[in-house]
Amino acid sequence: MTTNNSSWYTSTPWIVGGIFSLIALALIIVPIGENTELDVQIGDPAPFDIVAPRSQTYVSALQTENAKVAAEKAVPRIYDPPDTRVSRQQISSAKAAIAFIDLTRSNKLATTHQKQQELTKLGSVSIDDDLQIQLIQIEDGRWTVVKEEIIRVIENVMSEPIQEDQMKQIRQRIPVLISVELSIEEAELAAMLVQQFIVPNSLFNEVATNKARDASVDAVEPVEQAFAQGQTIIARGSVISAQDLEAMTALNMLEPQRSLLERYFPSFTAIILVVATMTLYLQRTQPGFFYRTRHLLFVVLLSLIFLFAAQFVIPQRLVLPFLFPAATLGMLIAVGLGTELGLIVSTLFVVFIAIISDGRIEIVIYHLVGPMVAILSLGKAERVNSFLLAGLATAAANSAVIIAF
């Protein structure tokens, strides 16, 4: 019987510790409350409101690239100054075409049809049949006025910079440049002929444009994106964009591609550390504690209940982690089983809080200092006033932690 008791005494802490470790590991790795790791892709709807777990500023590669693209597009195409040689060449071509038309008109032996055939030989000028007849039949005096107007308008238009992408607008504007002294038919004839000789005289300079755009892109500063703790990154149901995914990646919120060992080993190690430390402490200071089954179950079950509650309250929350009553765990154990045991349990419980809160230092310190002050202020808890004083001391300590961190 003594041998059995000795064997039970030796194995009990490790059995209870093993069971506690498995349950604690399950509570930590299973996302009961808000999930801190996400498995989402661009185009997926957000399964819930995704908020920043902490305040962070990072350089957004996507926004920086968008800024560079915008800076590049903001630089207009650069054109060379108007080439006067082009203007002179077009005026000369217009005068040559007019001279050919004069020669065709003056041929008394040719019929109207023959003159039309002759006008089609003007390679640089395309004239439809109706305008050909009008050109042949117009009186000499009026033709003189028309051709002078043609040269005048060409000179005026070609004296201004003309770019390739402006040709349509400039040709559409030519009819309003024709003198009102001409009749409607004469103005249409003149406008048609003028349009034939308007060409770009300011050419696109690709080298200068690329150089200016490169300089504009190089001047773009990296774009920083800042998120405050608790700020909504994307609302529930909204389609996740590339920028949303970038933000979640920068905040380490996306579920990493990890092996089972990488995923669970850190949490398992932390739990083993807590259990081993607690077991060694009890064996060293209270060797008879493992015989007191009710006390052992009280500590284990109470710790698991608080761990379960922490999974609901702490992950990805802004205010609720500071309202989690971690001090209550230590105070209950301190009142029932002693101050020292309450201190060691509440201190080791902070390891679980650190895992659940993703290592947020302000939460870890808050739940480390608060319970310690509460337990030490509580004393023997012989009066109700002791709890009131412990609460006030805890509030003061928590306020100091918030101010400090």
Instruction: Assess whether 32 and 94 both reside in one domain.
Output: no
Instruction: Assess whether 359 and 275 both reside in one domain.
Output: yes
- 138-153 pLDDT tens trace: 888 898 898 899 999 9
pLDDT of 69 reads 93
pTM > 0.75: yes or no: no
Instruction: Dump strand ranges (E) for 196-348.
Output: 224-227, 232-234
Residue 257 amino acid letter? Q
Instruction: Assess whether 107 and 32 both reside in one domain.
Output: no
pLDDT of 35 reads 46
Among 196, 231, 247, the domain-final residue is 196
Instruction: Assess whether 113 and 183 both reside in one domain.
Output: yes
Query: Does residue 328 lie in a domain region?
Result: yes
Instruction: Assess whether 27 and 89 both reside in one domain.
Output: no
Query: Does residue 130 lie in a domain region?
Result: yes
Instruction: Assess whether 286 and 385 both reside in one domain.
Output: yes
Query: Does residue 375 lie in a domain region?
Result: yes
Among 148, 172, 196, the domain-final residue is 196
Instruction: Assess whether 161 and 265 both reside in one domain.
Output: no
Query: Does residue 146 lie in a domain region?
Result: yes
Instruction: Assess whether 180 and 310 both reside in one domain.
Output: no
Among 155, 173, 196, the domain-final residue is 196
Instruction: Assess whether 389 and 290 both reside in one domain.
Output: yes
Query: Does residue 144 lie in a domain region?
Result: yes
Q: What does the DSSP assignment read for 165-224?
A: GGHHHHHHHGGGGS-TTS-HHHHHHHHHHHHHT----S-B-HHHHHHHHHHHHHTPPPPE
pLDDT of 1 reads 45
Instruction: Assess whether 268 and 384 both reside in one domain.
Output: yes
Query: Does residue 386 lie in a domain region?
Result: yes
pLDDT under 50: residue ranges of the chain: 1-2, 32-36
pLDDT of 215 reads 92
* Listed residue (357, 349, 354) closest to 326, CA to CA: 349
Instruction: Assess whether 175 and 302 both reside in one domain.
Output: no
Query: Does residue 357 lie in a domain region?
Result: yes
Give how many domains the chain has, as a whole number: 2
Domain that holds residue 391: 12-37+258-404
pLDDT of 32 reads 46
Instruction: Assess whether 178 and 265 both reside in one domain.
Output: no
Query: Does residue 177 lie in a domain region?
Result: yes
